[in-house]
């Protein structure tokens, strides 16, 4: 929580050193406020990226299972073409497609989460500060 506003103009009576001390104090207070905001958003970003990593790991597990089931299907499918029809071959294909579909869904969801902008409040505050610090030209 930011500390209450402190008037730093009192240092102006102390001459150049008072001005420098007031300026450095203002820079330190500004930096502290911005770093606190960045710290809060960094915690939010850590949770956000942890979810994305967990989804990517889950998708990888589903792709591996899908690959195994697909391999089982090919092996037993060739055996069925040579020797006869078994119902569980189609079940194996269904499971492979189910796992691959789940992996694709998790990857699409992770990609959508990755597109969300991070540190938006910090960037917004920096933009406001930049606009405030940009001098305006009066043309009369």
- Residue-wise pLDDT for 49-99, tens only, equals 999 999 999 999 999 999 888 878 877 776 676 766 666 676 677 778 888
In this prediction the pTM is 0.47
- Residue-wise pLDDT for 99-128, tens only, equals 899 999 999 999 988 888 778 888 888 888
Q: How far apart are the first and last CA of the chain?
A: 43
Give me the residue spans of the domains in the chain. 9-115
Question: How far does CA 35 lie from the centroid of its chain?
Answer: 18
Q: Is 119 helix (H, G, I), strand (E, B) or coil?
A: coil
Q: Supply the DSSP string of 49-103, one letter for each residue.
A: HHHHHHHHHHHHHHHHHHHHHHHHHHHHHHHHHHH---THHHHHHHHHHHHHHHH
């Amino acid at each position: 929580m930011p500390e209450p506003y402190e008037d730093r103009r009192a240092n102006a009576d102390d001459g150049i050193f008072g001005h420098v001390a007031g300026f450095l104090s203002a820079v330190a207070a500004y930096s502290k406020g911005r770093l606190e905001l960045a710290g809060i958003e960094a915690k939010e970003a850590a949770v956000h990226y942890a979810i994305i990593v967990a989804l990517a790991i889950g998708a990888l597990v589903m792709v591996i299972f899908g690959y195994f089931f697909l391999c089982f299907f090919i092996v037993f499918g060739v055996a069925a073409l040579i020797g006869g029809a078994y119902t569980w071959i189609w079940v194996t294909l269904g499971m492979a497609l189910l796992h691959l579909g789940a992996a694709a869904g998790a990857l699409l969801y992770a990609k959508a989460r990755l597109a969300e902008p991070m540190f938006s409040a910090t960037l917004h505050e920096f933009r406001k500060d930049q606009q405030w610090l940009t001098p305006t030209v009066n043309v009369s």
